Structure formats: C-alpha cells, structure tokens
Structure 1
Amino acid sequence: MATATTEGIKISVEAIYQKEFSNPNLHHFVFTYKVTIENRNPFTIQLLRRKWEIYDAAETLKLVEGEGVVGQQPVLEPGCAHTYLSGCTIRSGMGKMKGEFYVEKLNDGKLLTVIIPEFQLIANIFNN
C-alpha cells in the first residue's frame, strides 16, 4: 500500500491485478485500485477534482482528469474518511500511477492540492 499526507489529508492506495478480467495474449491487463482519503484537519473539505498520470511500460504517459471520484465529490468532516474503488487497463502488464486531488476547505474556500502517492501496477500472471 502506498500512502502520502499533504495539507493534513492522508491518501492511501492499494492496487490489485484482476487476472480474471485480463487477457495477456491480447495485451489487456486490468487493475483495480482502492483509494482512501482521510481528513486529519480541524476543518471540513470537499474533493472537487482529480488528475491521474498512468504510466505503462508499453506506452507513453496517459493523463486522466475530471470532476470528483467515481461520480462523487465527497465532503469529509474532520476525522472522517472516504474510500472508493476504481480501475484501469494497461497493455504491458507493468506500469505505475500517481496523481493529485484538488480539494476545497469549506470554511474559507481555499483550494488545496493533495498528492496521490505513486503505486505500482504489476500483473502477477503466474500466481494471482
């Protein structure tokens, strides 16, 4: 599991290779990743946007940006956490992801950039 804390917001990410949905012969490797966002601040935040950088050993960098996460813009009170599951596909079976969340402090409207730590995407095609 990869973790990072920025501006009092802890991000934890765990990636899992999905062998049953992958087809290595067709260069199609599916991964899910579980992200937990913990607000360790004394103020409430709202996640507005996200930006992902997806690196595949077989391709160049792919950028994915958009509003919220899986259709939501969660509000996190002090001490609360939000967990969600998402996924991606890569062609080589080896890659990595990292990114940023853009959150707003609801008490004063200040925007914060929160680091999503880099994590590995490795297809364990023999044991998984």
Structure 2
Amino acid sequence: MFSEETRAIRVTVAPTYLQDQSDPDEARWVWAYTVRIENRGTEKVQLVSRHWMITNSRGRQEEVRGPGVVGKTPMIEPGKSFEYTSGCPLDTPSGFMAGTYQMVAESGERFDIRIPTFSLDLPREHRSTLSQEHRTLN
C-alpha cells in the first residue's frame, strides 16, 4: 500500500494486477487500484475533481482529468472515509500513477491533496516462477 497525507486528508492506494483482464500477447496489462480517502481533520470536505498522471515503463505519460471519482463527488465528514476501486490499462508490463484530488472545504476554500505515487508491477509470483525455472535449468 502507498499513503500520503495533505492537510489532514490521508490517501492510501492499494494496486492489484488483473491477470484475467490482461493480454500480454496484445500488449495489454490491467490493474485495479483501491483508494481510501480519510478525513483526519475537523472540517467536512468534498472531493470535486481528479488529476492523474499515468506513466508506462517506456516513460510515455497520459494525463487524465475529470469531475469526481467513479461518477461521485463524495462529501467526507471529519473522522470518516470514502473508498472506491477503479482500473488502469497499460501497454507495458509496468508503470506508475500519481496525481491530485481537488477538494472543497466546508468554508468554501478549494485545495489540492496529493495522491501518492504508486507502482503498477506484475505480481511477485511471476518472478518467483521464473527464478524457480532458472534454478531448474542450471
């Protein structure tokens, strides 16, 4: 898991490789990521938009901007959290994502909170299997 806190708002991300939706022969690797946004502050906040930078392993970047997340603009009370799951396809077997959420405080103030940079890597099982095959061949 990857976490970052900005202005008493903690964002935690847990990525998962989706082997059943991926097709390496077609240069398609897919990940799901679950995000938990915790309001550790004293004021109610609303998530109004997102900004993502998605980078594949060749360094090619894709920028994604839009309202809310998964069709929602959640209001998060102090001491409460909001969690959602989304997905990301890549044309390389690894990459990373980072970004910001724009929030609006109960006072009307707008501010950005950081989403931690997180990696999209194939599961370790693949590397373990390759290592085991390598040992068998030697």
Task: Specify if TM > 0.5.
Answer: yes
Mark the structure with the bigger radius of gyration: 2
Distance in structure 1 (CA, Å) of the matches to 2:38 and 2:120: 23
- How many residue pairs match? The answer is 127
2:33 is aligned to 33
1:89 is aligned to 89
Which has more strand, going by share of residues?
A: 1
Distance in structure 2 (CA, Å) of the matches to 1:58 and 1:119: 16
| Structure 1 unpaired stretches of 5+ | none
Q: With CA pairs under 8 Å and 6+ residues apart, which has the higher RCO, 1 or 2?
A: 1
1:112 offset after TM fit, Å? 1.2
Contact 1:102 1:112 in 2 (8 A): yes
1:117 is aligned to 116
1:35 offset after TM fit, Å? 0.2
TM-score by length of 2: 0.88
Q: Secondary structure at the match of 2:25?
A: helix
| Structure 2 unpaired stretches of 5+ | 129-138
1:58 offset after TM fit, Å? 3.5
Q: Which runs of 4+ in 1 moved over 6 A?
A: none
Q: CA RMSD in A?
A: 1.5
- Point out the more displaced range, 15-24 or 53-62: 53-62
Distance in structure 2 (CA, Å) of the matches to 1:119 and 1:37: 15
Query: Within 5 Å, which residues of 2 pair with 1:1-128?
Result: 1-58=1-58, 60-106=60-106, 108-124=107-123, 126=126
Q: Secondary structure at the match of 2:20?
A: helix
Distance in structure 2 (CA, Å) of the matches to 1:59 and 1:46: 33
TM-score by length of 1: 0.95
Distance in structure 2 (CA, Å) of the matches to 1:68 and 1:8: 19
Letter in 2 for 1:114: I
